[in-house]
Structure 1
C-alpha cells in the first residue's frame, strides 16, 4: 500500500511544507541519504503543542507533539522526493523534548514519531535514535526532531 494512502486511512494529512525559521534548507540530499532539518510541531508556522512535558503538558501531549514533528518530516521528504514511497528506511532520528526537571520519559514521548514511521514503513521505519531532554525549544514547542533517511530512485 502506498504511504500516503496509509496516512489517509489513519485519518492523518501532511501539513503544508514548513518554511525554514532561519538560514538553512529543510533538507539536503547526499547520494542516497536525505538529511531533514529539525522539525517542530507546527502547522502553518504556528506551534500546535507549546509547553513543558512533565510540567504543563502530559506524556500524551508530548507524543502528539512528536507525531506532528514526524508529519512535518514527511512533508519535507515529500517535497524533496516527490513520492514518500521512495523512502527505503529511516537511518537515524535525533530528538529533543522540552522537559520538566526530573522528567525521564523522553523516549516514550518520541515514540509518538517512531510509532508513526513504523506504521507507515514497517521495520524500515525504525531508526537508530536519540531522545534527550532540554529546557527550551524554538517557539516554546514541546519537541523537535531531525531525521536521516535512506532513499531510492
Structure 2
C-alpha cells in the first residue's frame, strides 16, 4: 500500500510545513539520508507534573505526524522512504519522571503504523529541563530515501 493511502486510511492529514522562526532549516538531505530538525508538540507543560504519560504519548504521536509532513516536503513522495533510521525524543520532564521511553513510543508506534517494517528504527528518549515554547515533546529524525 502506498504511504499516502496508508495515511488516509489512518485518518491522518499532514499539516502545512512552515518556515522556521530561527536560523536553521526544517530538513537537510545528505546522500540518501534526510535529517529532520526537531519538531515540537502543541501540548505544553512538564511530564510528571501537569502532563500525564498518556497525554505525552499522544503529543509524541502528533510530533511524528509533523516529522512526516517535513519529510514529505523534503522528498516529495513518501514512498521514497526506505527506512526510518533514528529518532531523538526529548521530553519536558520533572526530575523524577522516568517514563520518557513510554512517551516517545507515541512517535515510534505511529511510524510503524505508517511505514510498516521500514518504520523500525533506533531511538533515544531523554528527559529535558525545558523545551522551546514549553512544549511537552520535541523529536528529531533521520530517514533514508531512495
Q: Does TM, normalized by the shorter one, top 0.5?
A: yes
Q: Which runs of 5+ in 1 are unaligned?
A: 42-47
| Aligned length in residues | 146
TM-score (norm 1): 0.92
Give 1:31 deviation, angstroms: 0.6
What SS is found at the alignment partner of 2:105? helix
Runs of 4+ in 1 over 3 A off after TM superposition: none
Instruction: Measure the CA separation in 1 of the matches of 2:87 and 2:145.
Output: 15
TM-score (norm 2): 0.96
Q: Which runs of 5+ in 2 are unaligned?
A: none
Instruction: Measure the CA separation in 1 of the matches of 2:133 and 2:8.
Output: 29
Instruction: Measure the CA separation in 1 of the matches of 2:98 and 2:18.
Output: 29
What SS is found at the alignment partner of 1:121? helix
Instruction: Measure the CA separation in 2 of the matches of 1:30 and 1:124.
Output: 19
1:1-153 alignment, distance < 5 Å = 1-41=1-41, 48-152=42-146
Give the superposed CA RMSD. 0.9
What SS is found at the alignment partner of 1:6? helix
